[in-house]
Amino acid sequence: MAVDATRFSLTLSRRTRRRKLVNLLMQVLATIAALAAVAVLAVVIISVAQRGASALSWDFFTKTAATFGQSGGGVADALVGSLVLVALATAMAVPVGILIALYVSEFASPRIADAAKLVLDVLNGLPSIIIGIFVFALLVIGSGQAAWKGSFALAIIMLPLVARATQEVLALVPSTLREGAMALGASRWRTVLGVVLPTSLGGILTGTVLAVARAAGETAPLLFTTSIAANAVTWDPRQPVLSIPIDIFALAESPDPADHARAWALGFVLISFVLVISLTARLLLARYRSKLER
């Protein structure tokens, strides 16, 4: 009976106690790791916000930098430059990206679709500085920098992001929808352009927005293609323009604390833009996906 009593006992044995302790320790470590990641995010955002928010003013957004040797001034040229660069890059990357996605999901055989996805993934995995060097070698050597060349480099970065996001959304479009359209006698291209694409518009849009967020923060591709610019606001894509990331990169290396303040302020603008739109896009995407999957 005494043997039975320990055999059926549910109180923790010493060994189980030790195992439970190891388990607890590991759970604590995992929790700490996750908290640490969130804490780093918070520390980065807070330190940028603290140092950057105070420098924001009307002049900061509307004036260009003070002439050489003087500190102060605004960053209007960088803001406009970034706007031009990203808008142009979006215009280049989005149509091509959607076409690639349509090819992969609607026309290609599984094998070719697989290969195309691999190409996109490899393109996405290339360091952005490689893209910068490529555009530099292709377009800049011999003829100089220009905003459109920078946009071209950004477009190469956006292309796989847009194409992959679109392709994934297209894959979610229920086949019953396609079949329904086909059963009405609609041709393939009408089905694709009239039914499949409009259904996926929300997903494509959020994918594009995420790509824009990424492009807006890219520095390396612009370094070689549009980084040396006149100290003036220009909307002309044939001229080299300044941009927010390039400006931060340059100001951070300056010994002048006033330049650091401007770098922080620009960093704050950039980080707010990027975080807000990627957060919104993620939420929309999640909602959109669950709607399609239902």
Q: Which of these ranges, 6-14, 68-76, 172-180, 234-242, lies near another protein under the rule CB under 8 A?
A: 6-14
| Residue closer to another protein (CB basis): 145 or 239 | 145
**By CB under 8 A, is residue 284 in contact with another protein?**
no
| Contact flag: residue 267 with another protein (CB under 8 A) | yes
Q: How far is the CB of 45 from another protein (least distance, A)?
A: 8
DSSP character for 142? T
Measured distance CA(154)–CA(216) in Å, rounded: 9
In the complex, the smallest distance separating the C-beta of residue 272 from another protein, rounded to whole angstroms, is 10
Length of the chain: 294
Residue number with CB closer to another protein (58 or 137) = 137
How far is CA 294 from each of CA 174, 177, 188, rounded to the nearest angstrom? 10, 13, 25
Q: Does residue 1 touch another protein according to CB under 8 A?
A: no
Contact positions with another protein (CB under 8 A) in 17-76: 19-20, 22-23, 26-27, 29-34, 36-38, 40-41, 44, 47-48, 51
Contacts of another protein in 219-238 (CB under 8 A): 219-220, 223-224, 227-228
The stretch near another protein (CB under 8 A) out of 59-67, 73-81, 171-179, 270-278 is: 270-278
* H or E segment to which residue 117 belongs: helix 110-125
- Kindly identify the residues of this chain, within the stretch 76-95, that bind another protein according to CB under 8 A: none
- What type of residue is 4? D
List 171, 231, 286, 291, residue binding another protein (CB under 8 A): 286
CB of 61 to another protein, least distance (A): 18
- Of 96, 172, 233, 292, the residue at the interface with another protein (CB under 8 A) is 96
Exactly one of 66, 118, 171, 201 binds another protein (CB under 8 A); which one?
118
User: 3-class secondary structure for 3-42?
Assistant: HHHHHCCCCCCHHHHHHHHHHHHHHHHHHHHHHHHHHHHH
The verdict on 99 binding another protein (CB under 8 A) reads: yes
Distance CA 245, CA 163 (A): 25
Q: How far is the CB of 106 from another protein (least distance, A)?
A: 7
Q: What is the DSSP string of 43-102?
A: HHHHHHHHHHHTT--HHHHHSPBPPTT---B--HHHHHHHHHHHHHHHHHHHHHHHHHHH
How far apart, in Å, are the Cα atoms of 286 and each of 201, 202, 205?
14, 11, 13
Angle between helices 244-252 and 257-293 (to 10 degrees): 140
Does residue 252 belong to the site contacting another protein (CB under 8 A)? yes
Query: How far apart are alpha carbons 144 and 230 in whole angstroms?
Result: 14
Closer CB to another protein, residue 87 or residue 286? Answer: 286
| Per-residue interface string for the shown chain with another protein, residues 153-192, x marking contact by CB under 8 A | ---x--xx--x--------------------xxxxxxx-x
